[in-house]
Amino acid sequence: MGSALETLSGQAVGAGQLERLGTYTQQSWIICGATAAALAPAYAFATPILHSFLRQPAAVARAAGPYARWAVPRLFAHAANIPLLMFFQAQSRVWVVASISGAVLGVHAALTYVAVRRLGFGLRGAAVVGDVSHWLVVAAQFAYMAGGRFPDAWKGFTARAFNNLGAFVKLSLGSAVMICLEFWYYTTLLVLVGLLKHAKLQLDIMSVCLNYEFMTIMVALGFSTAVGIRVSNELGANRPKETKFAVVVSVSTSIFMGAIFMGVFLIWRTSLPKFFSDSHEVIHGASRLGYLLAVTVFMSSIWPVLSGVAVGAGWQVPVAFINVGCYYLVGIPLGILFGFKLKRGAMGIWMGMMIGTFLQMVILFAIIFTTKWEKQAVLAEARMLQWGGKNENLPLMKSPPADDQMVPAEDDEMLAQGSQKNIEFVRTD
């Protein structure tokens, strides 16, 4: 629900409308906070949900439930943290944020060791330490933002943040659906594996593999955020050539990094599982999945970057539909077919879901590299003029069609109206 801010703030910075960042950030806080409150009951009742609704093993549900309940404060920390990150990233203020995260990471590691190992609090101690660490990050980032370093972008809290929240919510929903469908897809993999025979062993094996996959996804998400901000900045500043160049460089870099990760996992596929388990069965099972893991980390280095381009351009809604089709109408049914019907187990489930990811990547590649960025830049500039006028109304973006221009009909009307009113576009370099 916070990624809509990435599109709006990035294009606002590109258009030179820094004063809108503070209002956008506060509106995102309201929406993310409400979302966290809506999700909190799922954390509080995690044990019955996992056991009765998702049919997970009782031992898994009993272990996960208390941890989830103690992690509720962290959920609200995320709701506060994500808009702050978007605020800084839109203005390319990332090194201070990275330094804050690095410092808190050191504190987090030390506190976790004391709580889990020395004091013996186990998962509960780990959850509480996570809560403390996340709120430390939020406090430090807010102090940095409100400390006078951003006089144009942050002018304090304003009642305007409550104006026209419905429009912001609709754009946020498109962003949330797009991103949630991507990450829930991988969570579904664990749920399906939990339904297999010998579920505990299978879950242990998949957890080892997914730990490594999520490590590579974290790297890719860094590139995704960078390209999303760069695309939105350049479109907001009406620089289509620079936008296309940023897209080409980021995608090429992600392919190169993905090839490196794939090579690492192919070469050390039998050794890497030992860092997460000392069980011979788990190590052997994870090693057997090494080839699939290598291909998966290659694709996982690319699709987040493609999604970042979509966020920067404001295409969240059409990409959400693409994700539904590729992931949930193709990938998961194939995973169920291979894993259960053809009795290929965890490997079959993973293979089917990989096909869905590959299909999504192909479609996004086709859309991104056939898009007319000149028209996208003009549309972004027209939106900023419309949104940055005397009123404080926020955008109400509807789903653009997934054609080669990705242009909704209402945006064509916007351009036509702008032409009729003889609007002079102000360029900011």
What is the phi/psi pair of residue 161, to 5°? -65, -20
Highest mean pLDDT among 111-115, 271-275, 387-391: 111-115
Question: Please, are residues 293 and 217 in contact by the beta-carbon 8 Å criterion?
Answer: no
pLDDT score recorded for residue 166: 79
Instruction: Write out the DSSP string of 201-262.
Output: HHHHHHHHHHHHHHHHHHHHHHHHHHHHHHHHHHHHTT-HHHHHHHHHHHHHHHHHHHHHHH
pLDDT score recorded for residue 145: 93
Coil, helix or strand for 326? helix
pLDDT-derived band of residue 427, with 50, 70 and 90 as boundaries? very low
Count of CB atoms situated within 10 Å of the CB of 213: 20
| Exposure of 76 in the CB half-sphere (CA atoms within 13 A) | 14
Out of 4-8, 396-400, 420-424, which region has the weakest mean confidence (pLDDT)? 396-400
Mean pLDDT of 401-409: 41
Highest mean pLDDT among 111-120, 181-190, 400-409: 111-120
Coil, helix or strand for 314? coil
**Helix 290-300 crosses helix 280-288 at what angle (to 10 degrees)?**
60
Q: Which amino acid appears at position 93 of this protein? A: R
pLDDT score recorded for residue 402: 36
d(CA 273, CA 265) in angstroms, rounded, equals 10
Count of CB atoms situated within 10 Å of the CB of 92: 12
pLDDT-derived band of residue 289, with 50, 70 and 90 as boundaries? confident
Which two tokens mark 381?
Answer: 């500039």
The alpha carbon torsion through 423, 424, 425, 429 (nearest 10 deg) reads -170
Chain centroid to CA 35: 15
Q: How far is CA 54 from CA 43, 47, 48, 188, 399, in A?
A: 14, 10, 9, 10, 32
Mean pLDDT of 192-218: 85
d(CA 276, CA 270) in angstroms, rounded, equals 12
Q: What percent of the chain has pLDDT over 90?
A: 33
Highest mean pLDDT among 167-181, 353-367, 398-412: 353-367
CA dihedral sign of residues 255, 91, 99, 101? negative
pLDDT score recorded for residue 235: 85
Question: Please, are residues 320 and 177 in contact by the beta-carbon 8 Å criterion?
Answer: yes
pLDDT score recorded for residue 398: 37
Coil, helix or strand for 301? coil
Q: Which long-range contacts (CB under 8 A, 24 or more apart) does 159-162 make?
A: 160/23, 160/392, 161/23, 161/26, 161/27, 161/29, 161/30, 162/30
pLDDT-derived band of residue 36, with 50, 70 and 90 as boundaries? very high
pLDDT score recorded for residue 222: 84
Q: 174 or 50: whose pLDDT is higher?
A: 50
Per residue in 322-343, pLDDT (tens digit) is 988 999 999 999 999 998 888 8
Mean pLDDT of 171-176: 79
Q: Which amino acid appears at position 199 of this protein? A: A
pLDDT exceeds 80 at position 321: yes
Residues 418, 419, 422: CA angle, nearest 5 degrees: 85
Coil, helix or strand for 58? helix
Question: Please, are residues 397 and 407 in contact by the beta-carbon 8 Å criterion?
Answer: no
pLDDT exceeds 50 at position 215: yes
d(CA 235, CA 240) in angstroms, rounded, equals 6
pLDDT exceeds 50 at position 394: no
Count of CB atoms situated within 10 Å of the CB of 112: 17
Give the chain's length.
Answer: 429
pLDDT exceeds 80 at position 400: no
What is the overall mean pLDDT for the chain? 83
pLDDT score recorded for residue 329: 93
Domain borders along the chain are: 1-163, 166-415
Exposed, middle or buried, 429 (CB in 10 Å: 0-12/13-18/19+)?
exposed
Which two tokens mark 135?
Answer: 């709120």
Out of 136-140, 313-317, 377-381, which region has the weakest mean confidence (pLDDT)? 377-381
Task: Return the DSSP state at 400.
Answer: P
What is the phi/psi pair of residue 380, to 5°? -65, -40
Whole-angstrom Cα Rg for the chain: 23
pLDDT-derived band of residue 142, with 50, 70 and 90 as boundaries? very high
pLDDT exceeds 90 at position 320: no
